[in-house]
Amino acid sequence: MTTVLPLAVDDRLVGSTLLLGIFEKRLFFATALHLVAGSRIQIAIPPHGGNCQEPQVYPINGTPAMDATISATDPFTDLAILSASADANIPTTPKLAPSAGLIPVGTEVVVLGYPFAPLGSFLETWTPAHVTALARRQIAPGLEVDEIILSAVSHPGASGSAIVGRHDGIIYGLLRGALAPPEVIKIGEIPIATDTSVTYATSAHYIVELLAYARTVRDSEV
Amino acid sequence: MSQDQLKDLTEAQILKCLSPPVERHVIALNTQGVPWDQIGHLLALTPSAALSLKGPGWNRHLWLEVKAEVYSFLCEDSEPYSDLRSEWNTLTEKSSALAIASLSGAIGSELGMAGGVVAPMVIWAIAVAVRIGKEAACRAFRPPAVESPQGSPTA
């Protein structure tokens, strides 16, 4: 089962984070690095526990949350691995695509996350989409990042959502943003008019190496 | 200012504090001749590059702010880092990773974010400082003077 939970930074919901597993009594999560630009990072546990098949009660005024620390980051791929202490039992951990390019254009996927989390919504949605392109973002000569382009409409809070293969359950990407006009109207810090159906996700294979490294890092060295 | 926080540190040792993919990319960019300041900017800009991101707001000028804080730590007797300066030798003797993590935590705290967010930029700044030496680093990292409304420059 793929579990995605809401992410809060400095007591504000900001987006979504994917549970990667429990190792040596530490839970590990993946999210988009651009979300965690704050000092206090928390992962909320909504009443449905991240099981999107359960009915979700709303509105809810508060929910338990666990403090998390940043165990590893990769600014070039916009990824962060978070960890939190826990004694929880995780029955299954998601399978991550081991390399880029394993998902052809046209493949059905599901975007699992918390759209509109910054507005206070704890509603997790399961949104079908298709891979509409495979992209390679060039950061500098010789430095490229593999990305997946999706037909899904990305809303505020969707960053950090898992991109799951609809038929194989494999995590192929982590949502990071949407194509938008250069001049974007904003309400406060929330951009509007960016709900285009060109949504970008970082290829999940980058998470594999970052997680392996994060597991070796002690909290004192973070 | 007389203390040399960089003694006994090596550039390779400091770069090992980066996560492996970031270390590889930074070394590759450096080998290609990308200027160190541009690499710092890439570390700060890339998470928000090219897209409309919908988080609470990534600071695209983080490299400039981190560089200014590293300057404050290395080159001034500034108060926010006084405890860390006095513990620095003990920390580096234990491990450079621990010292760098402590510095990242202190700089993150000054900038209002977790140490893990600023760590790649802190590590890069210290690696550059080790390479070029403290004096040169203090010249290179010094924040530009800001013109006050009256026209007299302030730091």
pLDDT, tens only, B91-136: 999 999 999 999 999 999 999 999 999 999 999 999 999 999 999 9
Query: Cβ of B54 and A12 within 8 Å?
Result: no
From the CA of B150, how many Å to the nearest CA of chain A? 33
| Total domains in the fold of chain B | 1
pLDDT at A212 over 50: yes
What topology does CATH give the domain A108-204? Thrombin, subunit H (2.40.10)
pLDDT 10s digits, A84-101: 998 766 666 899 999 988
Q: Is the dihedral of CA A50, A52, A55, A58 positive or negative?
A: positive
Tokens encoding B131: 């390479």
Backbone torsion region of residue B116, taken as left when φ is above 0, otherwise alpha when ψ lies between -120 and 50, otherwise beta: alpha
Enclosing domain of residue B109: 11-48+60-144
User: Which of B52, B59, B95 has the most A C-beta neighbours within 10 Å, making it the best mutation to test the interface with A?
Assistant: B52
From chain A residues 88-117, the ones with a CB under 8 A of any chain B CB are: none
**Rounded mean pLDDT, A138-167:** 91
pLDDT at B152 over 60: no
Asked if A4-93+208-221 and A108-204 have one fold, the answer is yes
- DSSP assigned state of A140: E
Tokens encoding A124: 């997790």
A4-93+208-221 falls under which CATH superfamily? Trypsin-like serine proteases (2.40.10.10)
Contacts of A80 in chain B (CB under 8 A): 116-117
pLDDT 10s digits, B34-68: 999 999 999 998 776 656 554 456 788 899 999 99
Chain B, nearest residue to A39 by Cα: B113
Rounded to whole angstroms, the Cα distance separating A140 from A5 reads 33
Tokens encoding A138: 């060039």
Q: Is residue B3 part of a domain?
A: no
Tokens encoding A154: 């990305």
**pLDDT computed for residue B56 by the predictor:** 52
Q: Is residue B41 part of a domain?
A: yes
- Among all chains, which residue has been given the structure tokens 């038929």? A167
Rounded to whole angstroms, the Cα distance separating B92 from B84 reads 11
| B17, B29, B51 member nearest A178 (Cβ) | B51
Domain boundaries, chain A: 4-93+208-221, 108-204
Query: Cβ of A155 and B51 within 8 Å?
Result: no
Query: Cβ of A118 and B29 within 8 Å?
Result: no
**pLDDT computed for residue A31 by the predictor:** 97
**pLDDT computed for residue A181 by the predictor:** 58
Answer yes or no: are the C-beta atoms of A69 and A84 closer than 8 Å.
yes
Q: Is residue B139 part of a domain?
A: yes
Q: Which amino acid is at A97?
A: A
Portion of chain A with pLDDT greater than 90, in percent: 64
**pLDDT computed for residue B43 by the predictor:** 94
Q: Which amino acid is at B93?
A: E
pLDDT 10s digits, A38-71: 999 999 999 998 988 899 988 888 889 999 999 9
Q: Is residue B21 part of a domain?
A: yes
**Rounded mean pLDDT, B76-90:** 95
Tell me the ipTM for this assembly.
Answer: 0.88
**pLDDT computed for residue A168 by the predictor:** 96
Q: Is residue B44 part of a domain?
A: yes
pLDDT 10s digits, A155-204: 888 899 999 999 999 999 999 988 765 555 565 655 555 556 789 999 99
